[in-house]
Amino acid sequence: MTKTVLLLNVHRIIPSSMEIAWEIPGGLLSLGSWLETHGYAPEIYSCEPIRAMALIREKAEGSHLLAVGLYCDFENQVEVQELGPWIAGQFAVPVLLGGPQAVGFDARFLKRTGCLAAVVGEGEVPLLRLLQCLPSPDPDWRKIPGLLYLGEDGSLISTGPGEIVEDLDLIPLPAYHLCPDYILQPRYNIMTGRGCPYRCAFCQEGAAKYRARFRSVPSILQEIETVLGRYPVVDYIAFTDDTFTLSLERVREICAGLARLRTRKNFRWYCEAHVERLDRWPEMLDLMVPSGLVRLQIGIESASRKVLDACRKKITPAMVLRVVRNAVKAGVRQIFACILTGAPFESGKITGQNCRFVEKLIRTAPGIIEISPSPVMPYPGTEITRTPEKFGLKVLDPSGGTAISDFPLTESTGLDREAIAQGQKYLVDSMVEVMWKLFREGKVPHERIAYAFRERVERQSFIWRRVVYDRVPFLSPYYSLIARRAVRRSREIPRGELPGWRPQRILELWHDVDFSEGYPAIGRYVLSPLEFDLLLHSTGKLTLQAVLDAVYPKFAGLYRRRREFDRTCMKKMRLFEEKYWLAYAPL
């Protein structure tokens, strides 16, 4: 008998996060590989509700469907509540729930979903034991630790903490081969451990209270080597767990292994890191960057010591600033920093502190650091959700029904919900203003701009590119060509070789040059006859010397010597480069 199990992550697509529906949670991939190892036939999908319904109908009618597992997080509770009873009612297939939201399930939620049970916490062992009791549920399944279910009287029953896999090396490779709809991307996510020793008041991972457990370094390196060999498209490894930087010696060993692997195939990598560890061991960055680290994610949360202490972050703004400086010095290409809005005890004064601190960070790492503000969310199990009054907060919408991660669900003693949202907008506006100011002042080096176009990693967009670079006329096509090494800047070409290179205009004359007033203009810049002729001949088909030779006869009468004409033309050509109108193609 086929023991098919559908594991579904169902999300509606929302305008501000067009890719969320296609992300496959790492937990589902681990569950899939674990179940396959134990004789089941899992299939994993991330999709919209309509696609999920079609899949369930197809599987339920075409084969023996043992169960449907629905992944539930803070943002897809409605979808889970809609699909669960439809599955149970239409096909009489057991519905099982799991995911980070499970810790917050109550009797009312379970009743609405029509589920048999919910798995709370790490699911490998409890889910396997539960499936072994199906299809005709053995009454003993109610004794399996790690479950929630409804009693006969409708009350919520918990079987206590579930059994976990102590040796993480026993969990097979993530089951991408069990995801029929998924197209593997250049980015490959990997977990090096589970649990977190920190107990941040706003974080679900800290609220889970699992002790930190680590995979062995040989296991981690073997997975990466296998993936790089099996999937040629992969060239970016993302370490997505909270444990990566907990041990200096472990990082040292991992980085040495990554450096060895990169001698066979060049790949880059990203990790999440805790500011306290990077500040304690600044040499860690000097280990990570040479072994391929290009992107670092940190949580800065607030510029207020009061807020940081209340959240139990165990960091200070001074530590954050030191880490950012050290990261820039070590050569980290991109720093992604998260900051909270609507945080504990937040006030207008603290919003101002955050704005000033963010400006200092951006000035410290222009073109490198990117700040992402987001409102505190009442995630289940966190201390802020359980006792908001201790943090000067009031939870207005515990279920998140009025927001899609775009609006606060809390208010503080100093700010109501609308004021928190306005404060976040003010923070973003001031951040963007500083970024533009630094760009206009020439404080963002060319190489940092070029990197944003050269390293277009899947799902790792550059905020600098979205809010600054892409809005500067002609900059995007200019740097796109540079990123492809199709053209170069004149300053990068030996002076004696430049006449043999081919000036190539970036703009399109018919589209970008306005002739409506009787003269050629690009924006507000009016082109002289000489400038227009130089651009006209800069097609990449003629060498620089040939362009000057072609244009000279028309303007020769205006210059006493050819040398004077050439000097004037070169000033014009450099001006074109400064405006991103032109670059040089190779011989």
Contacts of 278 (CB under 8 A, 6+ apart): 245, 284, 285, 298, 323, 326, 327
pLDDT of residue 457: 43
pLDDT of residue 461: 64
What is the C-alpha radius of gyration for the chain, rounded to an integer number of angstroms?
A: 29
- C-alpha torsion angle, residues 325, 326, 327, 328 (rounded to 10): 50
> pLDDT tens, 92-118?
899 999 999 999 999 999 999 999 999
Cα–Cα distance for residue pair 492/486, rounded to 1 Å: 13
Confirm if 269 and 236 have CB atoms less than 8 A apart. yes
What is the β-pairing status of strands 117-119 and 147-150? antiparallel
pLDDT of residue 138: 76
269 SS3 class: strand
Q: Which residues of the chain have pLDDT under 70?
A: 1-2, 14-22, 63, 206-210, 456-461
Confirm if 504 and 540 have CB atoms less than 8 A apart. yes
DSSP string, 119-133: E-S--HHHHHHHHTT
Half-sphere exposure for 435 (CA within 13 Å, toward CB): 23
The domains of the chain, with CATH numbers, are 4-158 (3.40.50.280), 184-441 (3.80.30.20), 489-585 (no CATH)
> pLDDT tens, 285-323?
999 999 999 999 999 999 999 999 999 999 999 999 999
Question: 35-40, long-range: CB within 8 Å, 24+ apart, which pairs?
Answer: 35/5, 35/127, 35/128, 35/131, 36/172, 36/175, 36/178, 37/172, 38/128, 39/3, 40/3, 40/4, 40/5, 40/66, 40/131
Confirm if 381 and 208 have CB atoms less than 8 A apart. yes
Tell me the helix, strand and coil percentages in the chain, rounded to 5. Answer: 45, 15, 35
Cα–Cα distance for residue pair 240/20, rounded to 1 Å: 16
Confirm if 584 and 544 have CB atoms less than 8 A apart. yes
Token couple for 446: 């060319």
Please report, as a single letter, which amino acid is at residue 256: A
Please report, as a single letter, which amino acid is at residue 301: E
pTM: 0.91
> Terminus-to-terminus CA distance in the chain, angstroms?
66
Cα–Cα distance for residue pair 293/268, rounded to 1 Å: 6
**DSSP-assigned beta bridge partners for residue 96:** 69, 117
**DSSP-assigned beta bridge partners for residue 584:** 488, 503
Confirm if 13 and 20 have CB atoms less than 8 A apart. yes
> pLDDT tens, 256-291?
999 999 999 999 999 999 999 999 999 999 999 999
pLDDT of residue 21: 40
pLDDT of residue 20: 41
pLDDT of residue 14: 66
Confirm if 537 and 550 have CB atoms less than 8 A apart. yes
Residue 365 CB neighbour total at 10 angstroms: 18
Residue 536's Cβ-count burial label (10 Å; 0-12, 13-18, 19+) is middle
Contacts of 114 (CB under 8 A, 6+ apart): 84, 85, 87, 88, 89, 95
454 SS3 class: helix
What DSSP designation does 297 have? E
Using alpha carbons, list the distances in angstroms from residue 265 to 87, 227, 261, 332, 457. 46, 11, 7, 20, 17
283 SS3 class: helix
Cα–Cα distance for residue pair 581/538, rounded to 1 Å: 10
pLDDT of residue 479: 95
pLDDT of residue 16: 52
Q: How far is CA 254 from the centre of its chain?
A: 22
Residue 446's Cβ-count burial label (10 Å; 0-12, 13-18, 19+) is middle
Residue 315 CB neighbour total at 10 angstroms: 25
pLDDT of residue 212: 86
pLDDT of residue 60: 86
Count the helices and strands in the chain (H runs, E runs).
22, 21
pLDDT of residue 499: 97
Please name which of 316, 311, 264, 319 lies closest in space to residue 292, comparing C-alpha atoms: 264
Using alpha carbons, list the distances in angstroms from residue 517 to 193, 510, 521, 524. 66, 15, 9, 12
Confirm if 246 and 269 have CB atoms less than 8 A apart. no
Q: How far is CA 193 from the centre of its chain?
A: 19
What is the β-pairing status of strands 582-585 and 502-505? antiparallel
Cα–Cα distance for residue pair 340/350, rounded to 1 Å: 11
Cα–Cα distance for residue pair 521/268, rounded to 1 Å: 43
Token couple for 238: 């993302």
